Amino acid sequence: MENLIHMIGAKFNYIAYIILMMIGLYALIAKNNLVKKIIGMSIFQTSIILFYVSTAYKTGKAIPIVEHGHGAHSVIHATDYINPLPHVLMLTAIVVSVATLGVALALAIKVYRQYGTLEEDDINSQIRIQAGK
CATH number at residue 29: 1.10.287.3510
67 vs 57, more confident = 57
Q: Tell me, yes or no, whether 73 lies in a domain.
A: no
Domain count, the chain: 1
Coil, strand, or helix at residue 105?
helix
Q: Tell me, yes or no, whether 19 lies in a domain.
A: yes
What is the reported pTM? 0.79
Cα distances from 80 to residues 10, 29, 58, 67, 77, in angstroms, run: 22, 43, 9, 14, 6
Q: Tell me, yes or no, whether 94 lies in a domain.
A: yes
| Rounded Cα distance, 102 and 123, in Å | 21
Q: What is residue 2's predicted lDDT score, i.e. its pLDDT?
A: 77
Q: What is the pLDDT of residues 83-125, one digit of tens each?
A: 888 888 999 999 999 999 999 999 999 999 999 999 999 999 9
Q: Tell me, yes or no, whether 112 lies in a domain.
A: yes
Q: What is the pLDDT of residues 10-33, one digit of tens each?
A: 788 888 999 999 999 999 999 999
Domain assignment of residue 30, given as a range: 2-58+82-132
| Rounded Cα distance, 122 and 58, in Å | 50
Q: Tell me, yes or no, whether 109 lies in a domain.
A: yes
9 vs 85, more confident = 85
Q: Tell me, yes or no, whether 100 lies in a domain.
A: yes
User: Which has the closest alpha carbon to 98: 42, 54, 49, 43?
Assistant: 42
Q: What is residue 3's predicted lDDT score, i.e. its pLDDT?
A: 80
Q: How confident is the model at residue 70 (pLDDT cuts 50, 70, 90)?
A: low
Q: How confident is the model at residue 59 (pLDDT cuts 50, 70, 90)?
A: confident
| Burial tier of 30 (Cβ tally within 10 Å: 0-12, 13-18, 19+) | exposed
Residue type, 6: H
Q: What is residue 71's predicted lDDT score, i.e. its pLDDT?
A: 58
* Span 36-52, average pLDDT: 95
Q: Tell me, yes or no, whether 75 lies in a domain.
A: no
Q: Tell me, yes or no, whether 105 lies in a domain.
A: yes
